[in-house]
Chains A and B, each alone.
Chain A
Amino acid sequence: MQITIYSTSTCPYCKELENYLEEKNLAYTEKLVDVDEAAKTEMAGLSGGFMGVPFTLIVLDDGRRETIVGFDKGKFNSLLNPQV
């Protein structure tokens, strides 16, 4: 499973999401869209133009790709719990 978080340097919900993933010992990649233009473009492409952060892309082991807008703990739990 690969988790990529698109966030900004000052986003409090992004920090909450990072803490949540670290509590679950889940490795993730953080891309700051406020400092990297390519990351911003990448996120826009994945989110269909939505620019709210955190925006998360989860590539599951079976290859399925899931995206989550915001720190939606319920959705994270349902996606990650079977594998935690």
Chain B
Amino acid sequence: MNTKKVVAIFVALIILVVVFLIIFPKFIKKPTTLLPTPTPSVEEQLEQRLNGLVIPDDAEKIDLKNVSGGEAMGIATKSEVVADLPDLSRGESYQVLLSNGAKTVLLGTMKQAKGGWILEYDLSKYPGYNQIIVVKGSQHILEGTFH
């Protein structure tokens, strides 16, 4: 074997290795690593979104579950319901209902404040009632129950 052939084989080998290194990684399935995403609590998200909102740490509170299928989140203490809800069309309103399972009463209509929607109330005036429901018309948007 002459020197030219050895060099040619050597160069061909190098080219093959380079091509292999370029192409091969595309066929290697990298193991997918599902890293846990830090997700703030509903309370933290609301405090971030609603300017100046502070929910006292010692207040008994519940996260309100979004049952609307759209964008909505909220939290209820025993004295207020706070929510981040989509804008309303003219004539619509967000109302807060309080239920004991058999009877449901209207607590009031939410007002826009601090970039979100707020209703103040006093749960102690409604003994036996523990389920909070935020509605738009007859559509349930958020729900939660004090235990």
Interface flag for B97 (CB, 8 Å) = yes
CA distance A32 to B103 in the complex (A): 13
- From 55 to 102 in chain B, residues with beta carbon under 8 angstroms from any chain A beta carbon are 91, 93, 95, 97, 99, 101-102
Q: Are B104 and A27 in contact (CB under 8 A)?
A: yes
Residue in B91, B97, B104, B105 whose CB lies within 8 Å of A41:
B91
For A, the interface residue count at a CB cutoff of 8 angstroms equals 20
Interface flag for B2 (CB, 8 Å) = no
Interface flag for B109 (CB, 8 Å) = yes
Q: Are B103 and A38 in contact (CB under 8 A)?
A: no
Q: Are B104 and A59 in contact (CB under 8 A)?
A: no
- From 102 to 127 in chain B, residues with beta carbon under 8 angstroms from any chain A beta carbon are 102-106, 108-109
Which of chain A's residues has its CB closest to B108's CB?
Answer: A36
A2-B138, A36-B95, A39-B95 given; A28·B108 CB < 8 A: no
Nearest 8 Cβ contacts at the A-B interface: A29-B104, A38-B109, A38-B93, A31-B106, A27-B102, A30-B105, A36-B108, A36-B109
A interface residues, Cβ below 8 angstroms from B: 2, 4, 18, 22, 25, 27-32, 35-39, 41-42, 45, 59
B interface residues, Cβ below 8 angstroms from A: 91, 93, 95, 97, 99, 101-106, 108-109, 137-138
* Contacts A/B (CB < 8 Å), 25 sampled: A2-B138, A18-B103, A22-B103, A27-B101, A27-B102, A27-B104, A28-B103, A29-B97, A29-B99, A29-B103, A29-B104, A30-B105, A31-B95, A32-B106, A35-B108, A36-B95, A36-B108, A38-B93, A38-B109, A39-B106, A39-B109, A41-B93, A42-B137, A45-B91, A59-B138
